[in-house]
Amino acid sequence: MDFTAALAQIKPKLGCLADNLTLVEEAVERGIREQADLILFPELALTGYFLKDLVPDVALSLDAPEIARLVALSRHIAIAIGLVEVTKDYRFFNTALYLENGAIRHLHRKVYLPTYGLFDELRYLARGDRFRAFDSKFGRLGMLICEDMWHLSAPYILAMDGATTLLCLSSSPGRGISTDDRLGSTAAWQRLTATTATFLNARVLYCNRVGYEDGVNFWGGSEAVAPSGIAITRGAIMDEDFVLAGLKEGELRRERIFSPMMRDENLALTVRELCRIEEESSR
Amino acid sequence: MSQLTVNTALLRQILVGFIRDEVCKVGVTKGVLGLSGGIDSALVVFLAAEALGPENVHAVCMPYRTSNPQSEAHARLVAEACGVRFSVVPITPMVDAYFDSFPDADNMRRGNKMARERMTILFDQSALHGALVLGTSNKTELLLGYGTLYGDMASALNPIGDIYKSHVWQLSEAVGVPREVIEKKPSADLWDGQTDEQELGFTYRDVDELLYRLVDLRMTKAELVAEGFAPEFIDTVSRKVQNSHFKRRLPVIAKVSNRTIDRDFRYSRDWGK
């Protein structure tokens, strides 16, 4: 179906659940007002990014009232949002929820937790262990959280699982100043979203936050990328924004006819070779 | 071969955004900084004026009796050019009162004392105006340890601590720092005739090229030699970086509990902001 996606390029406050929930609810109301069908928020939209020892203090269990409020709003608009999730056995996950028609329809726990350079996620968070596509009213979707997308296998698995739209929730720190008019991280992400969409004949909806935490900027630039790899629309760099993207079913259909790489992808071959590699490397 | 050219429009956007965001999020609207007449503080005051509005920026010039009179003239020129509030607080009485008891103190002690005297004034002005102290140490100085701990290195926020002196020159051109300030020889102006490059023993241009490769690109010594850097130069600079590392860290705390500040009690400074 044709649908309109809103990318809520917000500026969360570090460790302030209540304030961020307000920010999120305002964006959801705006999305409803502007007749969007789906709204995306960044990774850790409810908490901010460099949480460190705050992780347990801002974590929500899935039955938390904050989540219930968003679930209720999803009767009017589908919502994809990032938060810290705590499980019954007190593991803390960097989680993305997909809410639709008043229910949690899917949950993705970030698998690849970057722990290098300025990142320290694995110190504080537990690792997710799966990539699963899921059905929605917009067709089959897959969710990724930031670093997940930098692992080729992650969007590949989702696409092989039938996803034709990838939702990527991000808190990407801006870095790498050069003569280019974009930061190194911006240029790299734009190459990545375009390439991923092109290889997998899938749409990519990328929502990145803005603001500064301890001097680190988050560069925004949220975008909707067509299955051809062309960015349909992009959010402001470094500033808050609210981006609306109209996504046409016909565009997906035509791209899949013109470039049927996913149709021709040989799953059995890939699995066979990966199994061989795993077996050989474990000898 | 310089790898130190940057897109100044983008850099400016990030640094102006940084000042605005990090100042305002603590519930403050103003900044205060020392204006020496040199290029680093000139650049910061231009960025701060753009970020906060010139009426919200207090620039304080704090000359000592041996300071070059041109420094104060340049500080005034810069303040007028960007329209910020400007005041002069001489530090001669306080510094001399102290050294009356230690007349044999050398230039280094006197220079450090002056830098720390200025720091106490800035933090007092910070309380007076309800303004955050903006730092003016660039990445070159910070890496070389060419600054006074708890003196000019002290601040609440430092917009230029991740850009090299070579970037400071470029960005200063772009934001409109007066030409005479950009073109004069960098000097801490702690005693007559002092220049940074003479004291350091190398030029900022040369050391920036080396530091960029050493720190940002993490090149090995063999790679640096292959790029044409003299081994002695590499050793001298590497030693400076290592030996000054203490200046870039908080004081070391003896650990006895299970949760020690900054070791296993870890929060961002922007906690709750």
Residues in chain B closer than 8 A to A237 (CB atoms): 13
Coil vs helix vs strand at B167: helix
Q: Which pLDDT band holds residue B1 (cuts at 50, 70, 90)? A: very low
Q: Give the nearest chain B residue to A182 (CA atoms).
A: B10
Using the beta-carbon criterion (under 8 Å), do B268 and A178 form an inter-chain contact? Answer: no
Q: What is the pLDDT of residue B2?
A: 66
Q: Is residue B156 over pLDDT 50?
A: yes
Q: Is residue B223 over pLDDT 80?
A: yes
Average pLDDT, chain B: 96
Q: Is residue B154 over pLDDT 80?
A: yes
Q: What is the pLDDT of residue B189?
A: 85
Q: How many other CB atoms sit within 10 Å of the CB of residue B58? A: 24
Q: Kindly state the tokens that stand for B219.
A: 């090149």
Q: Kindly state the tokens that stand for B122.
A: 């800035």
Boundaries of every domain in chain A = 3-281
CATH at B173: 3.40.50.620
User: What's the whole-number mean pLDDT along residues B218-246?
Assistant: 98
**What's CA A145's distance to the chain center, in Å?**
4
Low-confidence ranges of chain A (pLDDT < 70): none
The structural domain count of chain B equals 1
Q: Give the nearest chain A residue to B5 (CA atoms).
A: A179
Using the beta-carbon criterion (under 8 Å), do A14 and B266 form an inter-chain contact? Answer: no
Query: Does the A3-281 domain belong in CATH 3.40.50.300?
Result: no
> What ipTM was reported for this prediction?
0.94
* Interval B167-203: pLDDT, tens: 999 999 999 999 999 999 999 887 778 899 999 999 9
Residue B215 in domain? no
Q: Quote the CA–CA distance of B197 and B38 in Å, as a whole number.
A: 14
**Which residues, in sequence order, are CB contacts of A177 under 8 Å at separation 6+?**
A183, A184, B6, B7, B10, B11, B14
Judge contact between A108 and A99, C-beta under 8 A: no
Q: How many other CB atoms sit within 10 Å of the CB of residue A22? A: 12
Q: Quote the CA–CA distance of B221 and B234 in Å, as a whole number.
A: 7
Q: Kindly state the tokens that stand for B249.
A: 């860290």
Q: Quote the CA–CA distance of A206 and B235 in Å, as a whole number.
A: 45
Domain of residue B114 covers: 8-198
Which residue intervals of chain B are DSSP H helices?
A: 8-24, 39-52, 69-82, 92-99, 107-129, 139-144, 165-175, 179-183, 196-200, 204-211, 221-226, 231-243
Judge contact between B187 and B39, C-beta under 8 A: no
Using the beta-carbon criterion (under 8 Å), do A179 and B21 form an inter-chain contact? Answer: no
Q: Is residue B210 over pLDDT 50?
A: yes
* Interval B77-111: pLDDT, tens: 999 999 999 999 999 999 999 999 999 999 999 99
* Inter-chain Cβ pairs, chain A and chain B, closer than 8 A: 63
Residue B269 in domain? no
* Interval A165-216: pLDDT, tens: 999 999 999 999 999 999 999 999 999 999 999 999 999 999 999 999 999 9
Query: Strand A216-219 vs strand A210-213: parallel, antiparallel, or unpaired?
Result: antiparallel
Q: Does the CB of A235 have a partner CB in chain B at under 8 Å?
A: no
Q: Is residue B123 over pLDDT 90?
A: yes
Q: Which pLDDT band holds residue B50 (cuts at 50, 70, 90)? A: very high
Q: What is the pLDDT of residue B167?
A: 98
Q: Does the CB of B273 have a partner CB in chain A at under 8 Å?
A: yes
Residue B261 in domain? no
Q: What is the pLDDT of residue B188?
A: 84
In this structure, which long-range contacts are made by residues A127-134, counting pairs with CB atoms below 8 Å and at least 24 apart in sequence? A128/A93, A128/A94, A128/A95, A131/A157, A131/A158, A131/A161, A132/A106, A132/A108, A132/A158, A132/A161, A133/A158, A133/A159, A133/A161, A133/A162, A133/A163, A134/A98, A134/A105, A134/A106
Residue B237 in domain? no
Residues in chain A closer than 8 A to B265 (CB atoms): 53
Residue B99 in domain? yes
Residue B108 in domain? yes
